[in-house]
Amino acid sequence: MDFTFNEEQTAIGDLAANIFSQRSGIDRVKAVEASDERIDRDLWRELAQAGLVGIALPDEFGGGAMGFTELCVVLEQQGRCVAPVPLWETVLAAAAIAQFGTAEQKRMFVAPAAAGELFLTVGIEEFGPHDPTEPTMSAREDATGSWTLHGTKAVVPSAHVAAGVVVSAVTPAGTGLFLVDPADPAVHVQNNETTTRAIAANMTFDAAPAQLLAGGDAVNWLVDRVEVALAALQVGVGAGAVEQAVTYLNGREQFGRPLATFQAVSHQLADCYIDLEAMRVTLWQAAWMLTNGAAPGTAVLVAKWWATDAGQRVVHRTQHVHGGIGVDTDYPVHRHLLWGKQIAASLGGSSADLARLGAQLALGVAS
């Protein structure tokens, strides 16, 4: 497999980098964090107009008809600027509807999502030790073929602005993905501020009506893509933090020379470089396999583990080398620390990743 970007992917990355860097400066991010929604709708509109929101969605619904890899290219650039827009959750929820939904569902949700006219989200995380591929929230079908959801989903991102939520649930036949209206009276939403100062919701479903998208392997399909999307975001977060550290260390002097020239400091940045390269190669391996329809094997979990474990090391080191200014909550690098910790805690930490990976290896799943 070849991880070298082609001309289109390079152009997409350059376009995304230009938009995010120009529209997500520290002052703008602070203003969004002080708002009620915690979402930069102006940036969202610009991303949609540039075709980046729908980059991986089918062209028949106004998308760019590119692949999952191209979405990850955009997400990496978002992570570099810690830009507050619900990109991965909207696109992957829309992608699930495009993959498994009915013609009416696609018309109602996929096309508007590609145009940036609405937000969507996914609910695949639950409380306590939990494998996201094995949901405990249940779905029940009545005699008329209608489905209802029973249980709770935790930390559902951007649910407060979502027009629809794609959730996982266990059924008598296995597991499945369901589409639910978050405004339904049987859906109880408790909004909370996350580590990144964004809004996420704990959602309780009390016999909430839902539409079945698909059973079978659909939950694994979505979880794989969410985990790799978060890994792409984490690569960007780490890379952005390292860039800020390099700029600071080259400009800050002690004992008549830049801090960057001190060996102990250089070692910290060298370790960050090694971690970032490992995060990148495992990310693009997993993204390549998902884009090309190959069985991912252990590749997704390996990328997830590196993003979780090494990602935290990178943001902690880069904050540490900033000294006292690094703990200033208004200083830009502090936001990279917060994002890095939030992403690392999503869908289970590194110990949970290793447990799932070990279980796969014990079953003989190929890498």
Domains and CATH numbers, the chain: 7-117 (1.10.540.10), 120-216 (2.40.110.10), 219-362 (1.20.140.10)
What is the band of 67 on the pLDDT scale with cuts at 50, 70, 90?
Answer: very high
Buried residues in 185-210 as b, exposed as e (16+ CB within 10 A): ebbeeeeeebebbbbbbbbbbeebbb
Q: What does the pLDDT look like over 232-275, one tens digit per residue?
A: 999 999 999 999 999 988 887 778 788 777 888 889 999 999 99
- What is the DSSP secondary structure assignment for residue 2, as one 8-state letter? -
What pLDDT does 367 receive?
A: 65
What pLDDT does 329 receive?
A: 83
What pLDDT does 323 receive?
A: 87
What pLDDT does 35 receive?
A: 95
Mean pLDDT for 314-342 is 92
Q: What does the pLDDT look like over 353-363, one tens digit per residue?
A: 999 999 888 98
What pLDDT does 30 receive?
A: 92
What is the Rg, in whole angstroms, of the alpha carbon atoms belonging to the chain?
20
What pLDDT does 261 receive?
A: 76
What mean pLDDT, rounded, does the chain reach?
Answer: 94
Strands, DSSP E only, in the chain? 119-123, 138-141, 147-157, 162-171, 174-180, 187-193, 199-214, 253-254, 257-258
Mean pLDDT for 67-95 is 98
Q: What does the pLDDT look like over 3-12, one tens digit per residue?
A: 789 999 999 9
- What is the DSSP secondary structure assignment for residue 159, as one 8-state letter? G
DSSP letters along 278-328, please?
Answer: HHHHHHHHHHHHHHTT---TTHHHHHHHHHHHHHHHHHHHHHHHTGGGGG-
What pLDDT does 1 receive?
A: 63
What pLDDT does 197 receive?
A: 94
- In three-state secondary structure terms, 190 is strand
Q: What does the pLDDT look like over 154-197, one tens digit per residue?
A: 999 999 999 999 999 999 999 999 999 999 999 999 999 999 99
What is the band of 130 on the pLDDT scale with cuts at 50, 70, 90?
Answer: confident
What is the band of 327 on the pLDDT scale with cuts at 50, 70, 90?
Answer: confident
What pLDDT does 37 receive?
A: 96
Altogether, the residues listed in the chain come to a count of 367
Q: How far apart are CA 135 and CA 151, in angstroms?
A: 10
Query: Which residues pair with residue 210 across a beta bridge?
Result: 147
Mean pLDDT for 33-37 is 94
* Top-confidence residue, 349 or 210: 210
